[in-house]
Structure 1
Amino acid sequence: MEQLKRMALFATVVDRGSMVGAAEVLGMTASAVSQQIRKLEESTQVSLLHRTTRKLTLTEAGASFYESCAQVLALAEQAEQRLAELRDAPVGELRIAAPVGFSGPLITEALAPLLRAHPGLSLRLFFHDEQIDLIEQRIDLAIRVGSQEDSSLVARHLGDWRMLLCVAPAYLARCGTIHGPEQLSGLDWLSLTHDRAQQLNLHGPGGAQQHLRLESRVACNNILAVRQFTLAGMGVSAQPEPEVREQLASGQLLVLLPDWQPAPLGIHLVTPRRDAQPAKVRYAIEALRRSLLAR
């Protein structure tokens, strides 16, 4: 590392034409600059400069060495400029992980304006309902739902989405009117889980609660597949209200027992723990925050 510093110093001496000129740029004394040049010559065992009282002249070896030193210095300046760009402007590749339910307009509406405004920014998306390792996959930002227990990550709680018990009209016509939660155990359940058995805790009017143990007819690790089975009239599923708003408005889905709801779904923006975030992450957090809170 010291040798690299001396190479940069040597290039500055040549560029400025004197030890004094280099000292002014570097905030050093001329004698300190001369001492570093001498150490560089001692370590390389090559004379780099001819010194006279009036000027400095490069030796043949010094001229060749200067070209390499100048390239090193230019690369260092480029690296520093690149870091400044990443810090101050949203550029480079932004890697975001999210549940598959966000693969539609939820992500597009939030990030398309950001991409249009910043041509130097590219986006790579990873959709998984299972949590992935942010460090191993080099993820800049993840959208996660539910409780967050990994203390090695930074989680920003955006808010909570209502969860609704949803059915297709065709299924409700087959099973008949449902008047209360005590009838739910006899229905066909479609669940986002690896296990067929599940617990469902419902919150009702006046703080009432109902705890049900259900056997899923369809258990799946993909919320979109669960939703498609629901739309096909195969049973009941719990769905985040913002994700099924259009199907509810069109009548493709109905809310079963609207006064009884599962616990709300917490929405979090999660990043690897680090002191400073590049601009691309800060801008994306703000864009997602505005869009998801508006839901």
Structure 2
Amino acid sequence: MKMNTMNNVITSTGSVRCRGVSKVWGDGTADELVAVDNVDLDVAPGEFLVMLGPSGCGKSTLLSMVAGLEQPTAGTIEADGQPVTDPGPDRCMIFQQSSLYPWLSVADNVGFGLRLRGTAKTRRREVAQQLLRTMGLGDMLDKHPDQLSGGMRQRVAIARALAMEPRVLLMDEPFAALDVQTRSKLQDFIGQVKRDSGASVMFVTHSIDEAIALADRIVVFTARPGRIKASVTVDLTRPRDPRSPEYHRLNDHLIDLMRDEVDRAFAQQEGSIS
């Protein structure tokens, strides 16, 4: 394990580059709220980066800005050296809920982005069949989302993203709503997907165990306004053994980093309620 605690700055050569990124909701109004404050962050090609922090610390906001769904109030974001100003097929977002189109078949959901791109129907089905077979859903092409379990729907959502051959997968707590067993299976699955696709991954979670299971590197955020508190490189052998002494040392270290931030986040929430 390699840890580098710093004041907002993490540097490496990367496929995603954030410099001085801030996001202020209600900028200039009485309800102004600083969600993300002066964040510098690089994500290397093929890196699995997990963003860990308390609720409301700006992790999802930063992910949305990298996706181009939100614009920073200050600072710049680049993907593969190009400024991020809008959503693009090089960056695919996967949300906590699968967001599948209920009126489309599984195959048509997977091929939806390809359809918008103008890909022929036969080719879209070929791509869907190949991806779904890889994900253990090869016999589900003509089913509809309401015929699938929650874990199956998330696998379809991941297949839909992968069909676009993105350079970066942006994942906002994609397994949070799933039961423990399904969540564990999909953690293993997404690790394999990342290795096979070569994509970089930016993954948001509140779970220390999930972060350790998945990450090449864990970035710990402060309570709001979200700043980077620490960067932890995870050197544990895959698959990670939660019974190993090394795992427990890393887990304890992350708990120590998170403790004060969680307390601050709770205090902020109590203050806003009162």
TM, length-normalised to structure 2: 0.24
Considering Cα pairs closer than 8 Å and 6+ residues apart, tell me whether 1 or 2 has the greater RCO.
2
Larger radius of gyration: 1
Structure with more of its chain in helix, by fraction: 1
